[in-house]
Amino acid sequence: MIGIGIAGIAGRMGHLLAAQVRTTPGATLTGGIDRAPAANAERMLPDIAALAAASDVVIDFTHAGAVRAHAEALTAANTAWVLGTTGLDSEGQEAVRVAARAIPVMQAANYSPGVALVIALAERLGAALPASDYDAEILETHHRQKVDAPSGTALAIGEAVARGRGHALAGAMESGRHGQTGPRQPGAIGFASLRAGQVVGEHTLLFASASEQITLQHQALDRGAFAAGAIRAAVWLHGRPAGLYGMPDVLGLR
């Protein structure tokens, strides 16, 4: 039996995760933590250290500001970490890398299996279609509560395109165009973000040359796909050696 704890259990994802863990064969819900009161956990624990001590794996969908403290507590307890939180700054990402030297860490900007495939295809498109001829643009739409932009998933798609082209995203990213931008920079990877209503998550990757266009689009219809993917990742991660893993590992894509 795998003991799964949920950080952020009162949140949108936390609610779904708690419900799905309860019905997952071979898994048991050890408890949850949240800054807000939660009615959906039999056992609310006082902090991340207590949750880590009680769990084999902690599934974490909270806030980027919590990542460093969570990395330290999970490392100290030797507890596996499925991290879903997005919007990490470079220090937060470094804390994840350091933790992964000591404990198994699964990190995905998007736990839906369909998005993992879009990311894999984005890398292949980037490798096959030269930047000199094909412009790559990524459009993402999310609900009005989302606090970071572009979405972690959009960035992961952009990173995959850049990887396919043999360079890092950082120098090629063009985001939030406005005003007198001048013509498109050759080789740029463009990002645009829409925030509206309760859209769960839509991502479109467009490759366009002078004579053809290819569009890959993924729409999440509800958050259940993320919760199911994160629990599948938790079951896969349990008992693995320390390291930083991703959904391609869970899905056998590499």
Q: Which residues are catalytic?
A: 142, 146
Q: Do residues 230 and 24 touch, judged by C-beta distance below 8 A?
A: no
Q: Which is nearer to ligand NAD, 63 or 240 (CB)?
A: 63
Shortest approach of ligand NAD to residue 200 CB, angstroms?
8
Spatial CA neighbour of 51 closest among 85, 5, 94: 5
Told to check if 205 binds ligand NAD by CB under 6 A, we report no
The order of strands in the sheet holding 173-175 is 173-175, 189-195, 135-142, 202-208, 213-219
Told to check if 13 binds ligand NAD by CB under 6 A, we report yes
What whole-number distance in Å separates Cα of residue 205 and Cα of residue 217?
6
Helix (H) or strand (E) holding 33: strand 27-33
If binding means CB under 6 A, how many residues of this protein chain bind ligand NAD? 24
Q: How many Cβ atoms from other residues are within 10 Å of residue 217's Cβ?
A: 11
Q: Which is nearer to ligand NAD, 2 or 59 (CB)?
A: 59
Spatial CA neighbour of 139 closest among 235, 46, 215, 47: 215
Shortest approach of ligand NAD to residue 95 CB, angstroms?
14
Selected from 2, 4, 10, 118, the binder of ligand NAD by CB under 6 A is 10
Site pattern 87..126 for ligand NAD (x: CB under 6 A):
x--------------------xxxx---------------
CA distance to 20, 136, 163, 166, 221, per residue, from 127 (Å): 38, 12, 8, 8, 30
Told to check if 141 binds ligand NAD by CB under 6 A, we report no
All residues at 6 or more sequence positions from 127 whose CB lies less than 8 Å from its CB, including other chains? 164, 165, 166
What whole-number distance in Å separates Cα of residue 213 and Cα of residue 187?
16
Q: Which is nearer to ligand NAD, 150 or 190 (CB)?
A: 150
Shortest approach of ligand NAD to residue 135 CB, angstroms?
27
Q: Which is nearer to ligand NAD, 165 or 223 (CB)?
A: 223
Question: Residues 71 to 90: which contact ligand NAD by CB under 6 A?
Answer: 84-87
Site pattern 31..50 for ligand NAD (x: CB under 6 A):
--xxxx--------------
What whole-number distance in Å separates Cα of residue 6 and Cα of residue 41?
9
Residues near ligand NAD (CB under 6 A): 7-8, 10-14, 33-36, 61-63, 66, 84-87, 108-111, 226
